[in-house]
Amino acid sequence: MPQTSIGDMTRQQLNRAAQTADLDPDFLAIIAHPKRVLRVSVPIEMDDGTVQVFTGYRCHYNALRGPVKGGVRFHPDVTEDEVIALAAWMTWKCSLIDLPYGGAKGGIACDPDALSERELRHLTRRYTTEIMPILGPDIDIPAPDVYTNARNMAWIMDTYSMLTGHTEPGVVTGKPEILGGSLGRKEATGRGAAIIARELVQALKLDMKDVTVAIQGFGNVGSYAACTLAGMGARVVAVSDKTGAITDENGFPVEDLCAHVEESGTIDGFPGARLPGEELFSLDVDLLVPAALECQIHKNNAPHVRAKMIVEGANGPITPEADHILEEKGTIVVPDILANAGGVIVSYFEWVQARQGMAWPLEDIRARMEGRLKTTFWEVWDEAATCKTCLRMAAYILALKRIEQTYMFRGLFP
C-alpha cells in the first residue's frame, strides 16, 4: 500500500519545485488547484439486462497554455484524487515539452476485464456523452491511458461526432489509423522512454551494450520500451506483469516475448526463471523501467533498489519518500513528465495532422519525436547541474517556469 496519497505526492513535488524555482506566490496559489473537475454517473445496461452505474471523472487541471490534453483510464482504483494528480502531471509534462496544451485526465472506476466488448462500448459512449460539455478539439482532447486503447478512442470520436453532427477527428488522439490516428502513436510512449534511457546512458558515459534492464509492467509502454531498448543493444533481463516476474540473465528474445504476450495476454508461460512480482525492483540490474501504475516504489522497497538508473515509464511510480531514499543512494531517476512524454508528443502530432487534414510519414513522426525528447532531456540535464538538484526537480522547474511566464503575459481574468 502506498504510504502517501497521490494528492499529497503532487502537492509535495509542487511545493519543493516552487521553492527552488522561486515562483510567484500568486501563480503558485493558482497552479496548486485544479481548474475544474467533473464527476459523472455512467449508467449502462449490462449484458444480463440489469443496469449498473459507474462513476467517471474528467479533470482539467490548468488551461493557461492551450486546450487540455490527457488520457482516460479504466481501472478499479480510479478516484477523483488520482485523476486530479494525473491531470496535474499532464500539465507539467505538456509544458516541459513545450506543447501548446494544458493538462487533463479522466477515468472510470471499473474493472475492464470483467466487462464485455458491448458493455465497454456503452460505458465509453455514455461517459463521453456525460463529459460532452467540457470536451472538444479546442477544449479537451482525450487519449488512451491504463486499460484504454484505440478502440475506446474510436468510440469517443464517434460519440462526439454524432452529438455535434460532423466527423471530428481532432477530438481524440490515439485513434485507429483508419480514422486519422497517427502512425507511431501506439509505440510512442515506450519508444520515447527507451530514447530517454539512451540519452541518460550517454550522459553517464556508459554503453548501451553493457546495460541490463528490468521492466515492471508489460502493457503498451513496457513492451515497446523493451523492444526499443533491446534494439539499441541493451539486455532486457527481467520483466513483470500482474502474473509475477520472469528473469533471464542472458536477456530475453524480446520480439518473441512480445508475440507471446500479444497472443496470451500475459508473460506467464514464457521461458525464464519465475519470481514474485515485487522482487523485480531489488534485482541487480543497471536500469529499472517502472511501466505500470503509481506509487510502486515506496519507502519500504526503495532501500532495496540496486539499479543505478530509473526511467519512469508510468506516471508517478515513485513516492516522494522513495525519491528521497533513491537520491541519497545516488540513483538517477528520469521523471515521468520527461520519460513517458513520447506518447503525448505524438498525440500532439496526431492533433496537428487532424487540423491539417494530412497524414505524416512514420519516419518524420519518429524523427520529430526523438528531436523533442533529446532537446528536452539535455535541457533538464543542464538545469539539474545548474540548480544542483535532481532531474525531477529540474524538469519541474522548467515546466513551471514556462507556465508562469504564460500566466505573466496573459494575466489573471478578469
Active-site residues, by number, are 105
Cell of 102: 494544458
Q: Binding segment for ligand GLU among 65-73, 162-170, 355-363, 399-407 (CB under 6 A)?
A: 65-73
Q: Would you call 336 exposed, middle or buried from its count of C-beta atoms within 10 A (0-12, 13-18, 19+)? A: buried
Build a one-symbol-per-residue string for 228-257: x at contacts with ligand GLU by CB under 6 A, - elsewhere. Answer: ------------------------------
Dist. CA 239–CA 222, nearest whole Å:
9
Select from 35, 171, 8, 151 the least CA-distant residue to 90: 35
Q: Please, what is the minimum distance in Å from the beta carbon of residue 181 to ligand GLU?
A: 12
Helices (H), 233-361: 254-264, 320-329, 336-339, 342-356
Q: Please, what is the minimum distance in Å from the beta carbon of residue 212 to ligand GLU?
A: 27
For ligand GLU, the closer of residues 44 and 143 by Cβ is 143
Tell me how far the alpha carbon of residue 214 is from its chain's centroid: 18
Is residue 152 close enough to count as binding ligand GLU by CB under 6 A? Answer: no
Residue 93 labeled ligand binder: yes
Is residue 216 close enough to count as binding ligand GLU by CB under 6 A? Answer: no
Distance spanning both ends of the chain, measured CA to CA: 44
Phi, psi at residue 293, to the nearest 5°? -115, -175
Q: Please identify which residue in 182, 247, 340, 389 interacts with ligand GLU, judged by CB under 6 A.
A: 340
Q: Please identify which residue in 64, 143, 226, 295 interacts with ligand GLU, judged by CB under 6 A.
A: 143
For ligand GLU, the closer of residues 140 and 158 by Cβ is 140
Q: Binding segment for ligand GLU among 51-59, 64-72, 202-210, 317-325 (CB under 6 A)?
A: 64-72
Strand partners, 332: 309
What's the Cα-to-Cα distance from 75 to each of 114, 129, 209, 314, rounded to whole Å?
A: 11, 19, 37, 15
For ligand GLU, the closer of residues 159 and 247 by Cβ is 159
3-state secondary structure of 74: strand
Q: Taking the CB of residue 48, how many other CB atoms lie within 10 A of it?
A: 6
Dist. CA 154–CA 239, nearest whole Å:
31
Dist. CA 221–CA 400, nearest whole Å:
26
Is residue 173 close enough to count as binding ligand GLU by CB under 6 A? Answer: yes
Build a one-symbol-per-residue string for 5-44: x at contacts with ligand GLU by CB under 6 A, - elsewhere. Answer: ----------------------------------------
Q: Binding segment for ligand GLU among 127-135, 285-293, 316-324, 338-346 (CB under 6 A)?
A: 338-346
For ligand GLU, the closer of residues 91 and 347 by Cβ is 347
Residues that bind ligand GLU (CB under 6 A): 69-71, 143, 145, 173, 315, 340, 343-344, 347
